[in-house]
């Protein structure tokens, strides 16, 4: 079986390898022929040893995939051979709150093999059927990026029709957040440093307002765009660099989903703003299998199609990583494993 592996010592240590194909299925296991996988910022950290350290032996990276079921265990009832499925990134987190034990099973990191391989085995309980109108590439983008956006906007953001939802940048989570919020009746704002990217994302998501985060007064512009009230939900995809501004841009009772760390891990914030506005700051670490099912069902009902910006062939997986590291992408980066 062809796959890619990493030992966490940098992008140059990503190598194509051969392993024995997985064949021993447990009673509730499913064997999947992987069609496509997608990249997340976390995958860069894993390859660089900044998420779980170095690995000996090396692991198969990546957390998101779409594939076709080729075999099922004897106790599997809800999934059949030939079904297209995507996987939950934390297979043990079936529902309810996050348990620290679940994090240890995060596929594609912390010593656990991921999905950048021709075949993988998952427990049936951790799989969700992919709607027919999704391509394989689109179906491979749901596990981390879409589920994270869903958690920030819906699970913990409790979005309601008429709410204002603010997000930053043009990465996968930001785009999904805009699409989901808009489909559920919210009004949307996003900030970007690129006029060209801003125009593209606005056309894709029908966002109501586009602002430049290069303008220091963008929080004031958010409040003006919302009639001075501010954003009811903020999907904070950058981190320390924008958190203070996000707090200033938030409405009374606003809900902030803290996701990104690219803008730094330590931020200075005005504590009085938090108190006066009665804000809720919630760290978002994706969500459970149950929430993934709700997400996929909602995307299917509203015909929300993921935006795939680039597709790399399996042989060029390292190039896909390098492209992500260059931060020039818009939407999701996908690696096609098989056609």
The predicted structure's pLDDT at residue 228: 87
Q: Which residues of the chain have pLDDT under 50?
A: none
Which of 121, 146, 148 shows the shortest CA–CA distance to 297? 146
Report DSSP state, residue 234: E
Cα dist from 204 to 70, 145, 165, 173, whole Å = 35, 17, 16, 14
The DSSP annotation for 242-301 comes to HHHHHHHHEEEEEEEEE---TT-S-----HHHHHHHT-EEEE-----HHHHHHHHHHHHH
Q: Over the stretch 5-35, which tens digit does the pLDDT of each residue have?
A: 999 999 999 999 999 988 789 999 999 999 9
The answer to whether 38 touches 145, Cβ cutoff 8 Å, is yes
- Return the pLDDT at 339: 81
The pLDDT of residue 240 is 83
Q: Do 31 and 65 form a contact (C-beta atoms < 8 A)?
A: no
pLDDT at 224: 96
pLDDT tens digits along 44-80: 999 999 988 899 999 999 999 999 999 999 999 999 9
C-alpha span between 4 and 18 (Å, rounded):
8
Sheet with 280-283, edge to edge strand ranges: 209-212, 187-192, 164-168, 231-236, 250-258, 280-283
Q: How far is CA 2 from CA 20, 141, 215, 271, in A?
A: 9, 21, 48, 52
- Using a 10 angstrom Cβ sphere, with 0-12 exposed, 13-18 middle and 19 or more buried, the burial of residue 337 is buried
Nearest to 141 by CA among 61, 276, 288, 36: 36
Q: What does pTM read for this prediction?
A: 0.95
């Amino acid at each position: 079986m062809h796959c890619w592996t990493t030992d966490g010592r940098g992008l140059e240590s990503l190598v194509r390898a051969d392993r024995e194909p997985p064949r021993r299925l447990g009673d509730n296991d499913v064997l999947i022929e992987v069609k496509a996988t997608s990249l997340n910022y976390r995958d860069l950290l894993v390859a660089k040893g900044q998420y779980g350290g170095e690995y000996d032996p090396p692991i198969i990276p990546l957390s998101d995939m779409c594939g076709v079921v080729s075999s099922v265990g004897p106790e599997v009832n809800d999934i059949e051979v030939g079904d297209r499925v995507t996987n939950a990134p934390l297979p043990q987190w079936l529902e309810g709150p996050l348990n620290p034990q679940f994090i240890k099973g995060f596929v594609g990191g912390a010593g656990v093999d991921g999905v950048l391989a021709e075949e993988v085995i998952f427990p049936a309980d951790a799989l969700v059927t992919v709607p027919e109108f999704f391509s394989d590439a689109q179906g491979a983008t749901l596990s981390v990026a879409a589920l994270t956006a869903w958690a920030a906007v819906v699970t913990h953001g409790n979005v309601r029709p008429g709410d204002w939802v603010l997000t930053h940048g043009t990465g996968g989570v930001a785009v999904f957040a805009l699409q989901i919020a808009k489909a559920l009746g919210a009004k949307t704002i996003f900030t970007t440093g690129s006029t060209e990217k801003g125009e593209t994302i606005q056309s894709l998501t029908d966002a109501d307002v586009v602002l430049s985060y290069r303008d220091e007064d963008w929080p004031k512009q958010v409040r003006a765009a919302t009639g001075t009230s501010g954003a009811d939900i903020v999907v904070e995809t950058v981190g320390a660099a924008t958190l203070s501004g996000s707090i200033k841009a938030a409405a009374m009772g606003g809900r902030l989903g803290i996701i990104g760390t690219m803008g730094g891990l330590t931020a200075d914030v005005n504590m009085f703003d938090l108190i006066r506005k009665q804000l809720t700051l919630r760290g978002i670490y994706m969500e459970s299998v149950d929430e993934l099912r709700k997400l996929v069902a909602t995307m299917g009902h509203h015909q929300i199609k993921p935006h795939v910006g680039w597709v790399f062939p399996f042989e060029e997986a390292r190039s896909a990583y390098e492209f992500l590291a260059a931060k020039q992408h818009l939407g999701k980066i996908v690696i096609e494993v098989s056609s």
